[in-house]
Amino acid sequence: MDDTRISLRAVKNEDISDIYELYRNKKIVYNNGIAFGLYSENFLKLALIDKNLLSKNVTLIAEDDGTMIGIIYYECSKPMMTGVAISIIINTINNYEKYYIQVLLSFMNYVFKQQNYYRITIYISELVIIRNKELITKMEENGFLKEGILKEERYINGKFYDTYIMGVTREDKVR
Amino acid sequence: MIRQGRVYLRAFEEKDMKKIWEWKNNENLARYESSNPFITMSEKEIEKAYINSSGKNCYAICLKSNDELIGEVSFWYPNILNQSTVELGVSIEEEKCKYGYGIEATVALFKIIFNNILINRISFCIGSHNFYSKGPLEKLFNCDGIIKNDRLIDGKYYDTYIYGFLRKDYDRIIHDILKL
């Protein structure tokens, strides 16, 4: 796996069936620290694709050699905000940390080089951090700083979990 | 109608539109809006957003003493797939924003949310330039994080403070809260 194989692209209607399968897979869902829900394809299409036009939320698909390995959701709807708020879902359990960082780096390149945003804020479930202990360290090596912890923000599998806020600015990335 | 301290919350009516139009086109108030700063709204857009919108959890804040409309308070789900957290926003008109009415309206909204909706957490975000709100908010909420240089207003970068309030805290200190 190297940088060049990871690519990002906009979501298409045809991706909905893959996203539907992802959300049906309990292991993948819990591994990403999100709540399991029985969502229909129509609901996912409405929430992730059609809604984008109204809310300016954007869904990107991350691919490794043409295979979907993850989804990035980012929000850029507030005019005075200097950056984007994102969450990442990785469609695999093996190599989770590696893929997470690779997808994040690809997204950072896109946002800082192609889009004129000043910062990226990423929301990560405590559940992801418990299972991937090196993730925060690796993110910090790439310029991210821990900026806060939202207490008991998500309800997953019968328990409340915190959500970590990590942030990076264009200058931090360069440094 | 939900009463708390010197204020009460009610639904918006057509008679409120003129005042909302003034708020939405007020440059000073716009600096403190977290969602749509410096975006003006026409009367038609206001009518659509405040009167003809059935699913919006938005309430008018009025003074008990003379029924004057002084602001708005609302809540929403920031993430459609995470129904355990809501975010709220409060806006008080310029002349009334120094008197603590916003915190009383927030407590009234707490009563609506925690007594009727099965959520666990309320989040509240403000810019670091919003010194009117910071002190009163910290009486109620814990600061969970500070997002650096998150906002650009009048050519300057400002941080965003993220506050949180949990259901277990509401259950524990409900009597103290209601005295506010």
User: With helix as H, strand as E and coil as C, how does B11-74 read?
Assistant: CCCHHHHHHHHHHHCCHHHHHHCCCCCCCCCCHHHHHHHHCCCCCCEEEEEEECCCCCEEEEEE
> Which residues neighbour B52 within 8 Å (Cβ) at sequence distance 6 or greater?
none
In a domain, A104, yes or no: yes
Instruction: Give the residue numbers spanning the domain of A146.
Output: 6-173
**Mean of pLDDT values over B99-103:** 92
CB atoms < 10 A from the CB of A21, how many? 13
CB A7 within 8 A of CB A102: no
Taking contacts as CB-CB distances below 8 angstroms, the residues of chain B near A149 are: 144-145
Question: DSSP 3-state assignment of A18?
Answer: helix
Q: Which of A153, A169, A171 to mutate to test the interface with B (most CBs of B within 10 A)?
A: A153
What confidence score (pLDDT) does residue B139 get? 87
Within a domain: residue A1? no
At residue B34, the pLDDT reads: 56
Rounded mean pLDDT, B68-95: 89
Contact between residue A88 and residue A105 where contact means Cβ atoms under 8 Å apart: no
* Selected residue of B81, B142, B168 to mutate for chain A interface (largest A Cβ count, 10 A): B81
In a domain, A45, yes or no: yes
Q: Is the pLDDT of residue B148 over 50?
A: yes
Query: Is B80 close to A47, i.e. CB distance below 8 A?
Result: yes
Identify the residue with better confidence: B140 or A162.
A162
Q: Please, what is the average pLDDT of chain B?
A: 87
pLDDT digits (tens, 9 = 90+) for B17-56: 888 888 888 877 777 775 555 566 777 887 777 777 655 6
What pairs with residue B10 in β-bridges? B60
What six digits make up the tokens of A66?
Answer: 């043409």
The arithmetic mean of pLDDT across residues B89-111, rounded, is: 91
**Per-residue pLDDT at B146 exceeds 50:** yes
Q: Which DSSP helix (H) or strand (E) runs through A89?
A: strand A83-90
H helices of chain A, in order, are 16-24, 26-31, 41-45, 51-55, 96-109, 126-131, 135-141, 170-174
Q: Are residues A47 and B81, on separate chains, in Cβ contact within 8 Å? A: yes
Would an 8 Å CB–CB cutoff place A46 in contact with chain B? Answer: no
For the segment A98-111, the average pLDDT, to the nearest whole number, is 93
- State pLDDT tens for residues A34-45: 888 888 888 888
The percentage of residues in chain B with a pLDDT greater than 70, rounded to a whole number, is 92
Percentage of chain A lying above the pLDDT 70 cut: 90
Each residue's pLDDT tens digit, A130-172: 989 899 999 999 999 999 999 999 999 899 999 999 999 988 8
Say whether residue B117 is in contact with chain A using an 8 A CB cutoff.
no
The whole-number average pLDDT for the span A74-93 is 84
For chain A, how many structural domains are there in total? 1
Residue bearing the bigger pLDDT, B90 or A48: B90
In whole angstroms, what is the distance from residue B47 CA to residue B34 CA? Answer: 21
| Percent of chain B with pLDDT strictly greater than 90 | 47
Q: Using the 8-state DSSP alphabet, how is residue A49 labeled?
A: I
More confident residue, A129 or B22: A129
Looking at the structure, give the CATH architecture of the domain made up of residues B2-177: 3-Layer(aba) Sandwich (3.40)
**pLDDT at position A145, please?**
95
> How far, in Å, CA of A4 to CA of A13, rounded?
25
* pLDDT > 70? residue A51: no
Distance, CA of A153 to CA of A124 (rounded, Å)? 11
> Which SS3 state, helix, strand or coil, does residue A151 take?
strand
Contacts of A96 (CB under 8 A, 6+ apart): A31, A90, A131, A132
Q: Tell me which residues of chain A, numbers 91 to 120, contact chain B at a CB-CB cutoff of 8 Å.
A: 118-119
Average per-residue pLDDT in chain A?
87
Q: What is the CATH number of the domain that holds A111?
A: 3.40.630.30
A163 → chain B, closest CA residue: B144
Q: What is the pLDDT of residue B26?
A: 81
Per-residue model confidence (pLDDT) at position A161: 95
Helix (H) or strand (E) holding B111: helix B101-116
The kind and range of the H/E element at B157 are: strand B156-166
Q: At what angle do helices B101-116 and B131-140 cross, to 10 degrees?
A: 40
Give the model's confidence band at A79: pLDDT under 50 very low, under 70 low, under 90 confident, else very high: low
- Report yes or no on whether pTM surpasses 0.90: no
Q: Where are the domains of chain B?
A: 2-177
